Amino acid sequence: MLHGNAVVGQSGGPTSVINQSLVGVIREVRKHNQIEQLLGARHGVRGVINDDFIPLNDVSDELLNRIAITPAAALGSTRDKPDQAYCEKIFRSFERHNVRFFFYIGGNDSADTARLVNDLARQAGHELRTFHIPKTIDNDLRVHDHTPGYGSAAKFVVSAIMGDNYDNLSLQGIKVDVIMGRHAGFLTAASVLARQHEEDGPHLIYVPEAPLSEEKFLGDVDRVYKKHNRCLIAVSEGIVVPGGKTWAERMEEGKMERDSHGNIQLSGSGALGDYLSGLIKAKLGSKLRVRADTFGYLQRSFPGLVSDVDAKEARMVGEMAVRYSMDETNLEGSVAMKRVSEKPYEVKTFLTPLSTVARETKHMPAEFIEGGNNITAAFCDYARPLVGELPRVGSFEELRR
């Protein structure tokens, strides 16, 4: 039976529940004496190559309970994307520390790192079991039905849009809300769940999977504004123009009709939102009340606002990674979820080879998108159980219905 130490690390953009997965690993490891020391790598693989570890065997339950509900990566995260040479350093660190179990919490890049390190270990004849634990607010991992982190970020987006719909009803005008998602529109699409009545916003939803021209955008806004005397727009930061370039790239090139202000940076910047509101004013009327908010990092790291389902599943995939690792037939894999029942919603985990998840991302399927500016009921069925309970709001508009 394989005995040795284990390393756990966190990578990529934080989420509100990534620490649930970490605590899942820590708690489950304590039940299995095949694992001696559990080392937490600070800032992911960077901690591995720098021998920067936090010993996790004896952390108190009291602290673990608080860390579990704390957003962002408690071990620290990294944006490093290791190449072959970097992965060799990781592997050598594993040899030095007699690491036999590697649990890496992250997205598709992290799955790829895990795969590379795992291959090196095989080649060297160093017995290592490598598991990828999914995490991404983008929900863009192949094979996985959905990923931990998405449900809570989606709950933030739905809540924010729901509130903004009422704000927009109070003081009418045109409002642009820019939502994270460079390549996949799942998070922006979730905004559709904020709609409770026909006239509720978001009135227009744009995702990167549906190319959007300036003409279509302006035509849509004009039509909605004329109908409702207001317009609430949810737009992915990664929207593209027909032909495949992103709006941000076009803004940088100065080919859109208004100049941008220096370098365009999608997250941590209001540039796209300000560009879109400027465009609306320039083309549809300078006296219109147009505002833009970019939800930014709040979407992924907001304490006290998680989806219960998401928190529970994030914990579960962490625990399951450890359990899978105890079975000698499981040498490597990504811990994925599949739905075994729709009503009631129920999932099971399974192990999928790292190579099936690594690198490439998943996009929104065509049946989730409608007319290039809307999201379908099929998506709502898919996403609703992941987001969970929402506030039961109300409006005097209901009196007229």
Please say which residue, 4 or 14, places its beta carbon nearer to its own copies: 14
**Shortest Å distance, C-beta 169 to its own copies:** 7
Q: Which of 138, 177, 200, 220 is catalytic?
A: 138
**Shortest Å distance, C-beta 203 to its own copies:** 16
Distance (Å, whole) CA 171 – CA 83: 52
Place of tokens 């620490």: 19
The answer to the question of residue 21 lying near its own copies (CB under 8 A) is no
**Shortest Å distance, C-beta 152 to its own copies:** 11
Please say which residue, 54 or 326, places its beta carbon nearer to its own copies: 54
In the region spanning residues 304 to 333, those forming contacts with its own copies, defined by CB under 8 A, are 304-305
Distance (Å, whole) CA 317 – CA 111: 14
Distance (Å, whole) CA 371 – CA 210: 9
Helices (H), 72-207: 84-96, 108-124, 150-170, 186-189
> x/- string (CB under 8 A) for its own copies, residues 236-255?
--------------------
Tokens of residue 85, six digits: 């040479």
**Shortest Å distance, C-beta 300 to its own copies:** 7
The answer to the question of residue 390 lying near its own copies (CB under 8 A) is yes
The answer to the question of residue 69 lying near its own copies (CB under 8 A) is yes
**Shortest Å distance, C-beta 319 to its own copies:** 20
The answer to the question of residue 388 lying near its own copies (CB under 8 A) is no
Distance (Å, whole) CA 36 – CA 51: 17
How far, rounded to the nearest angstrom, does the alpha carbon of residue 31 sit from its chain's CA centroid? 30
Question: Which listed range, 85-93, 114-122, 259-267, 365-373, lies at the site for its own copies (CB under 8 A)?
Answer: 259-267
The answer to the question of residue 188 lying near its own copies (CB under 8 A) is no
31 Cβ contact partners less than 8 Å away, ≥ 6 residues apart = none
In the region spanning residues 36 to 55, those forming contacts with its own copies, defined by CB under 8 A, are 40, 54
Please say which residue, 171 or 378, places its beta carbon nearer to its own copies: 171
> x/- string (CB under 8 A) for its own copies, residues 147-186?
------------xx-xxx-xx-xxx---x-----------
326 Cβ contact partners less than 8 Å away, ≥ 6 residues apart = 32, 34
In the region spanning residues 348 to 377, those forming contacts with its own copies, defined by CB under 8 A, are none
The answer to the question of residue 125 lying near its own copies (CB under 8 A) is no
Report CA-CA distances (Å) from 238 to 9, 190, 204, 235: 28, 15, 16, 8
Please say which residue, 285 or 371, places its beta carbon nearer to its own copies: 285
Please give the full DSSP string across 346-389, using - where no structure is assigned: EEEEEEE-GGGTSS-B----GGGEETTTEE-HHHHHHHHHHH--
Please give the full DSSP string across 127-158, using - where no structure is assigned: --EEEEEE--TT--BSS-SS-TTHHHHHHHHH
At CA 128, angle to CA 125 and CA 134, rounded to 5? 140
Among 20, 113, 246, 301, binds its own copies (CB under 8 A): 301
At CA 156, angle to CA 145 and CA 81, rounded to 5? 60
The answer to the question of residue 392 lying near its own copies (CB under 8 A) is yes
The answer to the question of residue 394 lying near its own copies (CB under 8 A) is yes
Q: What is the size of the binding site for its own copies (CB under 8 A)? A: 72
| 138 counts as catalytic | yes
